[in-house]
Homo-oligomer: A and B are copies of this chain.
């Protein structure tokens, strides 16, 4: 079907070695021959097989990014921006980016990831935290000697990761609420974001009402959680959400309940996805700079790769409270 290098070479009256040299940038070959080969290749329909090339040592390298995909119908906006950031950083670096989402909780899928990770297809990987599988994959990679960096906290050690300062971000949000005279705070979050809750809590002395979005983090979950909260504590006048999509639901819930934003209820989201600034009302949010995070992750990974696998200290990306129209 597809011609291989031997057939193409003998068609040209040359040896496979010469043909190979024409495509790679390092062998010794005359300009005339190279040009002829390149021209004829298009006509003849020859193209090097990537698997054979990689096996022999010449193929293009790739890095993989593994991340939990919680919903099969709603995209993860935060993750999308991280991926964009990684792509930006990788562009021009002669490295392919392979993105490998996995649904948390599926043994089969984790097995597939395992395979991808260990099969030698990847010369490095970034793994984003957020599920038990992340931990597992991270350990696996480390053990197999594959350069890997995590996004978010995966293990206790402060290495090979780009980390967020969730605690501080939530603290800033809480402080802002307090400084602007809000009295009755609430927090809506996923189950995993303990640090955000703690940071927010730390502003007030006592316990504050908290609602968890169970089983996901869509806007609908935000609506339900806020409904519940408002029913139990109608006096609530400000709320921090663990991500912007939950905040979307909270805004919507407030609207349905007839509370004006930000007068009756102030809302701050988390992540600051690109969307936040385009909403009406524009969403205030603790920016985690997702694009930068992705870029930083590949930067660190590249560093580890060229120092082949050497451990590097974690980097923390700063968070920033962005005030818009919901506060």
Contact = CB atoms under 8 A, between A and B. Distances in A.
A224 interface: no
A109 B97 CA distance: 13
Contact of A54 (B2, B51, B84, B144): B51
Given A72-B87, A84-B75, A249-B278, A51 B55 contact: yes
Given A99-B99, A120-B51, A81 B75 contact: yes
Contact of A75 (B77, B119, B145): B77
B49 A55 contact: yes
A121 B55 CA distance: 13
B73 A84 contact: yes
Contact of A280 (B69, B81, B252): B252
Interface in A45-71: 45, 47-55, 59-60, 69, 71
A134 to B, nearest CB: 18
A207 interface: no
Interface size class of chain A, counting residues whose CB lies under 8 Å from the partner chain: 35 or more
A40 to B, nearest CB: 15
B72 A84 contact: yes
A88 interface: yes
A50 B119 contact: yes
A118 to B, nearest CB: 4
Contact of A218 (B83, B220, B278): B278
A255 interface: yes
9 contacts: A1-B145, A47-B119, A49-B120, A51-B54, A51-B120, A73-B81, A73-B274, A96-B112, A99-B99
Given A73-B274, A248-B275, A252-B278, 15 more contacts: A49-B55, A49-B120, A50-B51, A50-B115, A51-B52, A51-B55, A51-B121, A73-B291, A74-B84, A74-B274, A80-B80, A99-B99, A245-B278, A249-B278, A252-B282
Across chains A and B, which 10 residue pairs bring their CB atoms closest together, nearest first?
A219-B278, A75-B80, A50-B119, A47-B118, A51-B51, A74-B274, A49-B120, A51-B54, A51-B55, A252-B280
